[in-house]
Structure formats: C-alpha cells, structure tokens
Structure 1
Amino acid sequence: MTDSTSESSEIDTDFEVGQDNIEGSLGPFGFDIHNPVFVISGLTAVAFVLLTLIFPDQAGAIFLAVRNFATTKLDWLFMIIVNIFVIFCIALIFMPISKVRLGGVDAEPEYSYPAWFAMLFAAGMGIGLLFFGVLEPVYHMNVSGPLSVASPIAADGSIIPENVEAARAMGLAATFYHWGLHGWAVYAIMALALSLFTYNKGLPFSIRSCFYPILGDRVWGWWGHLIDILAVFATLFGLATSLGLGAQQANAGFNFAFGLDISINAQVIIIILVTAVALVSVWRGLDGGVKILSEVNMVVAVLFFLFVLLVGPTLIGLGGFWTGLIAYTKEIIPLSNPFGRSDDAYREGWTAFYWAWWVSWAPFVGMFIARVSRGRTVREFIICVLLIPSLIIFVWMGVFGGIAIEQILTSPETSLVKANVIDSYSPELSLFGMLNELPFTRTASTIAILLALVFFVTSSDSGSLVVDTITAGGKIDAPVPQRIFWCVVEGLIAIVLLIGGGLSALQAGVTATGVPFSILMLLMCYTIFQGLRSEPR
C-alpha cells in the first residue's frame, strides 16, 4: 500500500511540473491558445474544408479510396482490437483492482443510479438509432452475409417460409452486435482512462493524460500534442458523420411528409440551419444550452418510442427485442470472429465502419461518461456502462426492427420498407417507410423529423464543447469564441464531406481517423491496468 501511494504521489508531482507546459494563453479573438494543439487542429481543419470545396471531384476520389482501403484491408484489425476491449473490460470486473473507486477511496457518487443510467443512455444515443433502427435489421435479414443465413425473400418477391425465422433472428442479432457490448466497451475504455488519470492521479482532463504511464513527462511535449490533435480529428470526423446522416434523415423526412426534394443542396441548408441553433446552445454553455436540449431530446425520444410501440403491433415489437437478444447471445462469438463465416461485404461494409465510428466517438462520449461517473468503483462502472445502455438500445432496435421486418414478411408487395431498403436501397427513407404503415403517419413522421433535428443539435453543441476542452488542454470553461469556432468547423466538415462524396466520404473520414486512434486506445488498456495497480483499494 505504501508503494502504491508513493507512485500516485510521484504522478501528482510530475503533473505540477507538466501543467506549466500545457497552460494556454488568450490569443486573437479571445481564443485560449493551447500550445500547438489548437493552432494545428484549427488550421488543418480549415485547410481541409477549403481544399475539399475547391477540388470536390478529386476529394471524392480520395475519400472513396481511403474508405475502401481501411474497410477492405484493415477490417480484421478493427475486429481484433474491439474484441480485446470487450475481453479486457470483462477481465477487469473479476480482478481485485476493480474495487478501486474513481476519485479516491472516500469519493461519493454525484448522481443517483436512475440519473446516472439516464445520462449513460443519453451519451450514446444519437442519430444512428433513427437512421439504422429500421434499416439495419431489415438489411441483414434479407442479405445472407451475417453467418450465411439465407434470405426469406425470393427473387420474384415472394416469401420463403422455411427461411423466415432464422433470417429474422439473424437480422436482429447482427444489428445488436453492432450496437451492444463491443461498441460500449470502446466507450468504457476511454471513459475509464479519463476518470482514473483525472480524478485519481490529478492530471488534466485531456486524452494525453491517459498515456502518462508510457510517456512520462513527454506527455506534456510533442507526443502529447500529437495525441490530442489526433483525438480532435477523430471527434470531428465522427461527429461530421453523424451530422451528415442526420441531414440525410431529416431531408428524407421532409420529402416523405411534405414533398421536399432530396438533394445535397437541401441537406446543406439543413446543416447550416441546425448549426445556427447549435451555436446558440454552445454560446449558452453546458447548463444553459446543452443540458436543456439533452433533456428535450430524451423526452421526445421516449415519446416517439412509446408511440411506435403502442400504436404499432406491440407484441410483435416486444417479440423483436426478445428474438434479437436470444440470437445475439447465441451468435456473438461467431459474429465477432474476424476470420469466420460472415462474408467480406458484411465485415467490410458494416462492422469495420461501425468500429471506426465508435472509436471516433470515444473521446466525445468517453469525456461525457467520465464527467458523470466520479465516485463509482471500477467494477460498478464497467458493468453499468456495458449493460445498461446496451439493453436500452436493444429494446429500441428490437421494436423498430421487429415491426419493420413483420411489415415486409406480411405484405412484401406493398411494403415501403422493402421498397426503400431491399429494392432501391434508399437507407434514409427506411424509417419513414415503416411509419407509413402505422396510424397517424404524418404526425409520427413530423415527430421523427423533430427528433432527428434535436439529435443533430445536441451532437453538434456537445461535440463542440468536447473538442474545445481537448484543444484548451483539458479546461472545461474555455472562451465562448473558441466554442463557436469549433461548432462552425464541425458543420463545415459535414457539408464538404457530403459535397465531396456523400455517405462514402462520411465513412472515409471516420475510418481514416479510426485506424490510428484505435491503436492508441489499445495502449490505453495497458495504462489503465498500470494506473489501477498503483491505487489504494
């Protein structure tokens, strides 16, 4: 115990020396200049926007090449790394070091269990639930990629009864795999590292702090700068992907409900308008803006879910959850095998992209989870972060996916979900195809559009605050002009990615930053273990 205390004190002393090296200074326009991190990140982001606008065709070709290389050549790497995250988290639960309390032995939780669970759910709930909640279960149900389960829909559009149950289960299981334990293990690693080295070791609330056991005092120099810069771009491209998907979803909703044309121009206008609203929220700060919008977001999401569950076929929706959960439990190991029976298109087109997306969101969501988890033991933290949000998302995906699959299997010739996902593949219209077969379609579609826009705003404003914190050296109260700058940059990156190649460009941005950052997060497993070993229990 004495050795542990002494090592922890040594880190605290080193922090006092290193803190002088990362303090920023107020520069032009009131920006908090944090050594090279803000300058390099800001200038590179602006240059990326300008070059993509000036050379959109060339940029589109580059984006496509990057996406294809990362997903076709490195899919196995993503899968192995994320599998290690899951195994490491589960192993920690059973180790004695899991008794360590985040914040020290005397730390008390700041939030009750219900409040903490609600914030964990809000942290990872984004536009993806709306965009993929119907699309992905239906797609995987119809395509034989996940573990070679045969499609229940014949070439002539008729249903093959003997294939129905296996395909239904696999469609939901493959979806749950992408939204369950593996994804939340990514967030848990980041959040645990930030909590441990901030609350227990007294280091700045920044990504570089997580690498102190490896780099020592070099974490305050260029190695630390590079880590924070990479975290900034991982977050920016992860958020830009969500903003781009949100714009596509909202545009599709306006088209379905009000006849607005689906076009890049319309999506750009939506991004501009929503970014303007996000600017107001960012200007008001965490409590005055982000918190209020997050609460509105939760209320609208719950009401929308209850509407679909109660107005639609309730038992079928709940059955989708149970069917998916059982199949996911049974198939999680085969689905996780990077060299198993799932075909290349499934691993490359879905799993590799998802893991890159989760990794790119890790600084954003991890920082939020860390800020609300002080006082929890490591064991309590990991169990709750892995299980609670996963189960809530399974309920959402199971209900939406289960209802949509039933609509297709009941009326394949008239189902708009089948027309949008299977026949023409218009993924942004999949949700509205499902709503079309429920009562009060116009009302439900309007609520879905509103929810997409609110998700859009909350992702933009809270993401801006996180990037701002990283570039300001871990400060959570950086100047307002700096927050506004990053909010604008996020919107511009989403716009230029849409202009430069649409969904392919969005995926390229995520995978390009996801590869190196996933390797950094793998090193975090080692630093977490070393940090926990030095803590009194």
Structure 2
Amino acid sequence: MNQVKNPLEDKLRWGVLPPVFFPSAILVMLIVTGVIFNPETSDSFFSALNVWVTTRFGWFYSLSVVIFMVVCLTIALSQFGNIRLGADHEKPQFSFLSWVAMLFSAGMGIGLLFFSVGEPVTHYSKPPLPQDTHYELAQQAMDVTFLHWGLHGWAVYAIIGLCLAYFGFRHNLPLTIRSALYPIIGDRIYGPIGHIVDIFAVLGTLFGVATSLGFGVSQINSGMNFLFGVPVSDLVKMGLIAAITAMATASVVSGLDKGIRRLSELNLILAVCLLAFVVVLGPTLVIFSSFAENLGNYASVIIDRGLMVGAYAEDDTWINNWTIFYWGWWISWSPFVGMFIARISRGRTIREFILGVLIVPTLLVFFWMTSFGNTALDMIAGGYTELPALVKDNMPVALFVFLDQLPLSFITSFFAMTLVITFFVTSSDSGSLVIDIITAGGNIHAPKWQRIFWAIAEGLVGATLLAAGGLGALQAATVATALPFTVVILFSIGGLLRGLSMEYRKAQGAEAAADIVGGGVNMPWKLRLHSILAHPSKAKVEDFITRIARPALHDVMREIEAQDTSAEAFLADDSADLIITHQGEPSFRLAIKPVPHKAPVFAMATATGNDSGADEQYYRAEVFLSDGGQNYDIYGYSHEQVIHEVLNHYNRHMHYLNLSRAHPSHLEKE
C-alpha cells in the first residue's frame, strides 16, 4: 500500500473537513450552551453519568489498559521493532532531548503538579486498604500513585501514537485516528465510519484537555490566594482561563517548531529546577532510598493491582474515583497526546518509539512523584500533621502548603505557579494543534483560524464545566467520552497488527528472492574500485542518471508492459523513477536520485575526480524504494547492470505479492 494522495483532500472546504469539523463544533457548542443555561441539571447529570460509567464499565477500562501495555511491549521486543516510522532512510526530526521535553510537557503537564503532593497525601490519610503503621500507609500511598502514573497510562499514549505514526508516515495515510482501521475496513475509512471515529477523537481530546485546564486554573487560583490573598472564586478562574487561553492561542498560531517546542523545552527546564530544589533542600537521602524502593514495589503492584476493579470490595467508590478515573483520563487524552507524539516522532524506529514513550517519561514521573510525595509524607512523619487535613479540604493548594515548609517558600511557590501556567499553555496549544489536524483530514498545514477556534473552544468547555459542577463535572465528562474511544483503540490495535504482519511478509519476500546475477558484482574489478573511490559532483551524478539510469529503467518499463498485460509501468516525468502497478495489489516503485554527502578527509582530489577538493560535498546515485532509501550507490554501473539491479528488487517484490495473496488484507491494496 503506497497512498500517494490523501483522498480526504478533495473533501476539504475552507481548509477543514466538514463531516468532522461541523459535527464536532456543533456538539461542543450544544454542550456549552446546555451547561450555561441549565447549570444545576448539568451538575446532576454529570454526577449520575460518572457513577453509571465507572460502575458498569470500570472492568472494561482496566482490562483495556493492560491489553494496551502488553501489546506495546510485545511489538517493541519483536521483529517489528526495527521498522522505521517513515521511509527507511529518514532520521528523527527532533533531537532526543527536545523529543523527551515535548513528550513530558504534552503527556503530563498540569496533572503532575496538581497531584504530586495531593495524591500521595490523600492516599495516606484515606487509604484504599486499611494499614496500621506510618510506614505501611506511606508505602501503599506511593504504590497506588505509581500505578496511576506508570506504564499503564503511557501505554495508552504509545499505542495510539504508534498507530498514527505507522500508518501516517510509513504508508502515507491521513494523520488521523481513522487510518488505523484501514487494514480492517479499507477505503471506508474515508466515509461515515471514519468521520465518526475522528469525531470521537475530537471530543475525547477536547474534554481530556479541558479537565487538565480545570485542574490548572484551580491550582493557579489557590496559589494566588496563598501568595497574594486573591479570592478563590469562579470569576477569578474564568479570568485565568481567558488569559491563558489567549496565550495558548498565540503559541499554537506560531506552530510546532517555534511555539510548542520552545515552550516544552522551557517547561522541562523550569520543572528540573523546581525538582532539583526539592531534592537538594528536602530529605535527599529519603528521596533516593524511597525512589529505589518504590520502583521495586511497583514491579509487584503493576501485577497485583493492575486489574483491581473492586469486584470483591464492599464499597468500590475509591477505585471508581481514582483508578477508573485515571484510566478514563489517560484514554481521553490519548488522541491528543498520541497524535502529538506521532507528529514529533517521524524517523524513529518502532522499538525506539515504544521504549522511549514508555520508559523515559515514566521514570521521570516516578522520580518527580517520589521527590514531592515522599518528602510530603516525611513531613507528616516529622510532625506536620496538619498537611493531610489541608489537602483534604483543598487539594489544589497542596503544592503551595508543601513548599511553604521549605526555604524560600514565596519564591518557589511563585516559581511553581509560573510552571503551572506554562504547562497549561503547552497542553492547550498542543491539544488545539491535534484537533486542528484531525478536523482537517490529517492536513498538518490547516488554516490558522481553525487553530484559534479550537483553542478558544477548549477554554469555553473548561470554563463552563468548571462553573457548572467543578472538577467533578470535568472528571465525569472525561470518563464518559473515553468509553467509545476505548473501543476505537481496540479496533486500531487489530489494524496495526495486520499492517505489521504485512511488513513481516514483505521482508520474508525479500529474503526468499535470491538476487539475479548482475549489478555491481559483474563489474570489472578496476572499474568497480574506481566506482567505490569516486566522489563525483552533482552534475556528474545527474549526467549518469540521465545517460545510463533513466534509459535502463525505460527499457525495463517497455519489457514489463510487453510481457505482463496485467501490469502497467511508467516513468515519472524527467526523473529516474519507475512505477509498476498491479491490479488491486501494492505497486513496485524504484527511483535513482542524487544524494549529497560530505567527502571523507582521506580522499584526494586527484583520485576522486572532484576538482574542487575532497573536503567538499560530493554526490551518490542512490536507490530508493517505496519504503525509502536503500543507502547504497550505483554510480558507475553500466546500462545492463542497472537493469539487473532493478530486477533484483522487482524479484523480491513479486515474492512479497505471492505471500500477500495467501494472506489478503486491505492494507495490501492501493
């Protein structure tokens, strides 16, 4: 499957995809309007909705996130791990540090600051299972916190991001959730089924981000109250949402590289500074020893509590309010974060992508939670017994009363509040960018007005739900919108596995097809040595492609059409790019292109034939297939040798088609 053009592009109007954009926008506006005019009814509705979803489908959420984690690890450790998310020759767009910074900012953000103190202290004072001693209470509190912020959640992001990146960058399908279903339903992803899937993704993203925004403004308002005496009120929160949404809009208009990347790197720097402050001036030894023990405990907790849904509990309220909410929150964020990490991960291998998304952010989050959580628990053990009550009465203020026990509390609290704001902006602008891509049919260059629209919509949803029912309404909306999308993810996994199996069969075909004798092997050895040592200019390589390579491809094209009436072969205009199509099956494509390289320092101008000197740029005539560059040079081959090289690759392609016919799939069709 090598989609050349996105079929959704023909359906775009004003830069957007109407069957996705307008239903999504109308549903959002109806919800906002309904909440504004019926706040009391809305509060009751969201409360009942939360109880209904968590009670009846808590098991489904828990089982699903375990499946996501197992599938991710299995793929990463399998032969599929070497597949690159893009063409074979592509390299990652962003450095590893920038990539991790954007993963951390988009995937965690506000929640990390909101819960880092509040959650461990809450589990300590109100434990899910009764314990007798401070040590047992503290250990259980950190065990549960690690469970909620560990591999389960990041596996949700990883599986969606992998589906999007694989089908979007490897097979040139639209960068939207619907593309993961292509191996299952084929071209119907471009119709109503695909539109509905993307609408679910938009709503899940919108409410997931809105929930984080609700946490963020609550924490900022509490910080302002703690530092400056600003009253905690809905009016202040609405003003904060309006101000920060404006900042997020400016960032998202700047684009991924200028706005979001720079803000993400700033977030990481600020977060590391705050973390270092707590580690150095807090109980350093306690933090590091607790981190080691917490990791060990997590290894058992991930199995022991991973599927706990309260089936044998007299009261499942705690599990529904915490664990099930977290799974719903992770899932509702997955279209947003999955799309975002796919967008920034082009060029990485599947193994690098999965292990990077699962392990690096998880370890960072665990160390963060240990540093803040265990320090807070150590404060309680040391006599700060008022902390649990303060957190119980007002969780958004937990971080600030915690910092108040450390030196320079005013400065660090103001610093923390600034960090909440930058995380707030990053979450909002990243979410807007993702929704923008989805409602534009996968077009990453959608109009700026649409980005502005969705940034404002996120602020409206967060403000209205916060005013109507507080954080409870936001949590209920998050858990509810995650339910249909969980089903979508499970189907997407089926599509991903079918797609990867085709990759494996393609590799089998290449291995099974022996090379036809020819190519560089039969070149006279002196001429072959000259070809190896040559460092020609761009003009010389282009001349080789024009005189030798393109005529050779032309001869193959004519012979294919003469011998195989079921195939159609053609050369792209003015280039050495041969395409052979087979009815209803994947096309064969081979191109020969000039690729620049820096000449090695040991090469001499007299030997290379490069009159300008060996230390300058030279070019190679490299072979490209539909999967990307093959990283070898055929400069100096004769007409006949170029033909044999083409036939070697075409022979492998025919073996791949034979294997494909034995295992038919939508993915194998154009």
Q: Same fold (TM over 0.5)?
A: yes
2:120 match: 137
2:98 touches 2:261 (CA, 8 Å); kept in 1? no
Q: CA deviation at 1:72?
A: 2.2
2:106 touches 2:426 (CA, 8 Å); kept in 1? no
1:371 pairs with one of 343, 367, 376: 343
1:87 match: 70
1:230 pairs with one of 189, 196, 200: 200
2:403 match: 435
2:106 touches 2:427 (CA, 8 Å); kept in 1? no
Q: Which amino acid aligns with 1:268?
A: M
1:446 match: 414
Q: Which amino acid aligns with 1:455?
A: F
2:500 match: 532
1:98 pairs with one of 81, 90, 108: 81
Deviation track 1:142-194 (CA, whole Å, cap 9, x = no partner) reads 3331xx241x5xxxxxxxxxx12222111111111111100000001001000
1:394 pairs with one of 366, 378, 402: 366
1:344 match: 316
1:128 match: 111
1:455 match: 423
1:46 match: 29
1:216 pairs with one of 186, 210, 217: 186
Q: CA deviation at 1:17?
A: 7.5
Deviation track 1:205-246 (CA, whole Å, cap 9, x = no partner) reads 111111111121110010011011110000000000000000
2:528 match: none
2:305 match: 335
Q: CA deviation at 1:330?
A: 2.1
Deviation track 1:40-66 (CA, whole Å, cap 9, x = no partner) reads 111221121111101111111111111
How far, CA to CA, are the matches of 2:381 and 2:6 in structure 1? 65
How far, CA to CA, are the matches of 2:372 and 2:419 in structure 1? 15
1:320 touches 1:403 (CA, 8 Å); kept in 2? no
1:356 match: 328
1:308 pairs with one of 278, 285, 295: 278
Q: Which amino acid aligns with 2:446?
A: A
Off by >6 Å, runs of 4+ in structure 1: 340-343
Which stretch shifts more, 433-442 or 136-145?
136-145
Q: Which amino acid aligns with 1:62?
A: F
1:158 match: none
Q: Which amino acid aligns with 2:105?
A: A
Deviation track 1:363-410 (CA, whole Å, cap 9, x = no partner) reads 111112112222222222212211111000000001000000011111
1:24 match: 12
1:121 touches 1:388 (CA, 8 Å); kept in 2? no
Q: Which amino acid aligns with 1:212?
A: Y
How far, CA to CA, are the matches of 2:96 and 2:239 in structure 1? 40
Q: CA deviation at 1:117?
A: 3.1
How far, CA to CA, are the matches of 2:269 and 2:54 in structure 1? 36
Which stretch shifts more, 322-331 or 110-119?
110-119
1:488 match: 456
CA-based RMSD of the aligned residues comes to: 1.8
How far, CA to CA, are the matches of 2:249 and 2:36 in structure 1? 23
Residues matched between the structures, number: 503
Q: CA deviation at 1:346?
A: 3.0
Given the superposition, is the C-alpha separation of residues 64 and 127 from structure 1 closer, same or farther in structure 2, using an over 3 Å criterion? Answer: same
Q: Which amino acid aligns with 2:161?
A: A
Give SS of 2:446's match: coil
2:161 match: 191
Deviation track 1:241-293 (CA, whole Å, cap 9, x = no partner) reads 00000000001101111111112221111111111222222232323322332
1:37 touches 1:228 (CA, 8 Å); kept in 2? yes
Given the superposition, is the C-alpha separation of residues 384 and 285 from structure 1 closer, same or farther in structure 2, using an over 3 Å criterion? Answer: closer
1:254 aligns with 2:254: no
Give SS of 2:93's match: coil
How far, CA to CA, are the matches of 1:291 and 1:110 in structure 2? 12
How far, CA to CA, are the matches of 1:18 and 1:82 in structure 2? 32
Q: CA deviation at 1:516?
A: 0.6
Q: Which amino acid aligns with 1:75?
A: G
Given the superposition, is the C-alpha separation of residues 149 and 189 from structure 1 closer, same or farther in structure 2, using an over 3 Å criterion? Answer: same
Give SS of 1:133's match: helix
Deviation track 1:314-366 (CA, whole Å, cap 9, x = no partner) reads 22222332232121112211111235677623321111111111111111111
1:4 match: none
Higher helix fraction (1 or 2): 1
Q: Which amino acid aligns with 2:344?
A: V
Given the superposition, is the C-alpha separation of residues 337 and 44 from structure 1 closer, same or farther in structure 2, using an over 3 Å criterion? Answer: closer
1:475 aligns with 2:463: no
Deviation track 1:14-39 (CA, whole Å, cap 9, x = no partner) reads x7483455x3121xxxxx23131111
2:18 pairs with one of 35, 46, 49: 35
Given the superposition, is the C-alpha separation of residues 144 and 292 from structure 1 closer, same or farther in structure 2, using an over 3 Å criterion? Answer: closer
1:205 touches 1:475 (CA, 8 Å); kept in 2? yes
1:134 touches 1:401 (CA, 8 Å); kept in 2? yes
Q: CA deviation at 1:488?
A: 0.8
Which stretch shifts more, 399-408 or 451-460?
451-460
How far, CA to CA, are the matches of 1:534 and 1:128 in structure 2? 39
Q: Which amino acid aligns with 1:450?
A: T
Q: Which amino acid aligns with 1:25?
A: R
1:383 match: 355
Seq. identity, %: 43
1:464 aligns with 2:452: no
1:171 match: 141
How far, CA to CA, are the matches of 1:382 and 1:205 in structure 2? 18
How far, CA to CA, are the matches of 1:506 and 1:472 in structure 2? 26
Q: Which amino acid aligns with 2:91?
A: E
Given the superposition, is the C-alpha separation of residues 120 and 292 from structure 1 closer, same or farther in structure 2, using an over 3 Å criterion? Answer: closer
Give SS of 2:87's match: coil
How far, CA to CA, are the matches of 1:124 and 1:20 in structure 2? 30
Q: Which amino acid aligns with 2:71?
A: F
1:283 aligns with 2:253: yes
How far, CA to CA, are the matches of 1:486 and 1:339 in structure 2? 35
1:265 pairs with one of 214, 228, 235: 235
